[in-house]
């Protein structure tokens, strides 16, 4: 007998109290907010910056979202007890969390270019970063992926991108270049540019 999963509820407008308390001014409880730093020493691979914002169905930027990312290291390995393919970079956590700027809503991650990771049945996927977005008004956290504009051949062969029926929507998962080692990824919750969200 399989149990039912605990239902989700919105993270609400004050998610930052629990998840990034230092950002909200509660500075005496935790030394540092979890996920604030993804690099704990010299890392393997290309160091990159990822910025962006989350937009609602009226095109307005959310200033109360919390965004988390999860990704492989420069060699395509995850820093996780569940990783069975090898040892990931010990100086890279793979996980980042951003409350976004409280005034502009911009999130920012200092991370590394992820290596390619296979699917469970062994097909190669293009390099990507998993995003998870929660906020007031979002009842269940939304998962999506960011792919890279300079990996066109790998993106063309990516099994998940190939599953997107409406081909014009593939572009919603591809970041744009925003400088030498910087990428910008804007997420649209609703409307004509709506980002593809995943049930994975």
Partner 1 sequence: MADTPRLAGYIARDAGQHPAALHPAYKTSVKRSPQAALLSFPSGPGEETGPVFGHDMLGPLDHDLIHNFAADGRSAIGPRIVVQGRVIDQSGRPVPGALLEVWQANAGGRYRHKKEGYLAPLDPDFGGCGRVITDAEGRYEFRTVQPGPYPWPNGVNDWRPAHIHFSVFGAGFAQRLITQMYFEGDPLIWRCPIVGAIADPEAVRRLIAPLDMDRSLPMDARAYSFDIVLRGRRQTLFENRMEGL
Decide: is 142 part of the binding site for partner 1 (CB under 8 A): yes
Which residue number, 110 or 194, has a Cβ lying nearer to partner 1?
Answer: 194
Q: How many CB atoms lie within 10 A of CB 13?
A: 13
Per-position x/- string for 46-75, each x denoting binding to partner 1 as judged by CB under 8 A, each - no binding: ----------xxx---x-x---x-xxx---
Burial pattern 124-148, b for ≥16 Cβ within 10 A else e, equals ebbbbbbbebbbeebeeebebbbbb
Least separation in angstroms between residue 108's CB and partner 1 is 19
Decide: is 199 part of the binding site for partner 1 (CB under 8 A): yes
**Close Cβ partners of 113 (under 8 Å, ≥ 6 residues apart):** 45, 46, 47, 48, 74, 127, 148
Q: Which stretch binds partner 1 (CB under 8 A): 3-11, 43-51, 147-155, 174-182?
A: 3-11
What is the rounded CA–CA span in Å between residue 54 and residue 68? 12
Residue 127 structure tokens: 């390099």
Residues 96 to 125: which contact partner 1 by CB under 8 A?
A: 102, 117-122, 125
Which residue number, 19 or 174, has a Cβ lying nearer to partner 1?
Answer: 19
Decide: is 174 part of the binding site for partner 1 (CB under 8 A): no
């Amino acid at each position: 007998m399989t149990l039912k999963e605990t239902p989700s509820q919105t993270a609400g407008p004050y998610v930052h109290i629990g998840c990034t308390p230092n950002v909200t001014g509660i500075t005496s409880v935790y030394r540092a907010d979890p996920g604030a730093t993804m690099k704990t020493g010299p890392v393997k691979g290309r160091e990159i910056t990822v910025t962006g914002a989350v937009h609602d169905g009226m095109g307005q930027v959310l200033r109360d979202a919390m965004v988390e990312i999860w990704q492989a290291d420069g060699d395509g390995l995850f820093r996780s007890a569940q990783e069975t393919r090898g040892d990931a970079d010990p100086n890279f956590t793979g996980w980042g969390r951003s409350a976004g700027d409280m005034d502009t809503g911009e999130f920012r991650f200092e991370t590394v270019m992820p290596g390619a990771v296979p699917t469970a049945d062994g097909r190669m996927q293009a390099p990507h970063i998993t995003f998870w977005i929660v906020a007031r008004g979002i009842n269940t956290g939304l998962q999506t992926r960011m792919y890279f504009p300079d990996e066109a051949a790998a993106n063309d062969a990516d099994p998940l991108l190939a599953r997107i029926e409406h081909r014009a929507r593939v572009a919603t998962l591809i970041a744009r270049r925003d400088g030498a080692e910087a990428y910008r990824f804007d997420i649209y919750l609703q409307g004509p540019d709506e980002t593809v969200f995943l049930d994975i």
